[in-house]
Structure 1
Amino acid sequence: MKSFLAFLIAMGVIVTLGDAYCWSKIHKPGEAKNGCMLNGKLYPLGHIERTEDCYRCSCSETEMKCCSLFTTPVAYDKKKCKVVFNKEHCDYDVVQKDDPSKECFVYSRVG
């Protein structure tokens, strides 16, 4: 039983250290001469350390590339727990449904 628990913890650490979810958008000529638009907000050309939606981005006149700063919990006690996005920490908290002040154990996350 102890080795199985160690395996689950190791897999959770490996998944957590994996690459974040990334995407890119190619701009039409002249579309981003003043910066990149993301969810209604204009970001300046160059590196953006953290957007309002918790992404790290690179903005140029030709494209915008972004990667998430958060990981999504996928293995936890779904009967007793719920997932809540924490915008301050750019991550998901997994808390008990009946007492949100108590955290739940997360076995793995994807990013």
Structure 2
Amino acid sequence: METFHVFICVLALIPLCHALCTTVDLVKDEKINGCVDKDGILHDFGSDWTKDCTDCTCTENELTCCNLFPDDHLPPECELIVNKTDCTFRVVQKSDNTKYCDLN
């Protein structure tokens, strides 16, 4: 049970990362037959799911989760506006959010 709690704590750190994808190596435990997400839900090995605009994949060795939108490296004059209902986003100017930013 101790391993289970440590694993939950590690998964809780995923949203704090600035990378687009995060991979967590799984702790081998014969009692757990999958990956436990940040909400404590067990997902079977080989499964994929999307929650809060993040795609996750569970294998026997690791849990990988990737944001569906960029979360860093935006120009300082730009901001990311996210619609979490349908996981869409737009990058707009901070001074006028009706104008899109040029990211080239």
TM-score bracket, shorter-length normalisation: 0.5 to 0.7
Q: Deviations over 1:15-65 (max 9, x none)?
A: xxxxx8222101111178243222224142223141x22222221232111
TM-score when scaled to structure 1? 0.52
**Partner residue, 2:81:** 84
After alignment, is 56-65 or 82-91 more displaced? 82-91
Name the CA shift for 1:28/1:47 in 2 (closer, same or farther; >3 Å).
same
User: Which whole-Å CA distance do the structure 1 matches of 2:56 and 2:94 have between them?
Assistant: 34
Structure-2 change in CA distance of 1:83 and 1:71 (3 Å)? closer
In 1, the alpha carbon distance for the partners of 2:98 and 2:31 equals: 42
**Structure 1 spans left out of the alignment, 5+ residues:** 1-19
Give secondary structure in 2 for the equivalent of 1:44.
Answer: strand
In structure 2, C-alpha distance between the alignment counterparts of 1:56 and 1:70, rounded to whole Å? 11
1:55 corresponds to which residue?
A: 54
Query: Is the radius of gyration larger for structure 1 or structure 2?
Result: 1
Write the letter of the residue equivalent to 2:75. Answer: A
Q: Higher relative contact order at CA 8 Å, sep ≥6: structure 1 or structure 2?
A: 1
Count of equivalent residues: 84
1:104 corresponding residue in structure 2: 99
Query: Closer, same or farther in 2 for the Cα pair 1:32/1:70, shift >3 Å?
Result: farther
Return the offset for 1:95.
5.8
1:84 deviates by: 3.2
**What is the one-letter code of the residue matched to 1:87?**
K
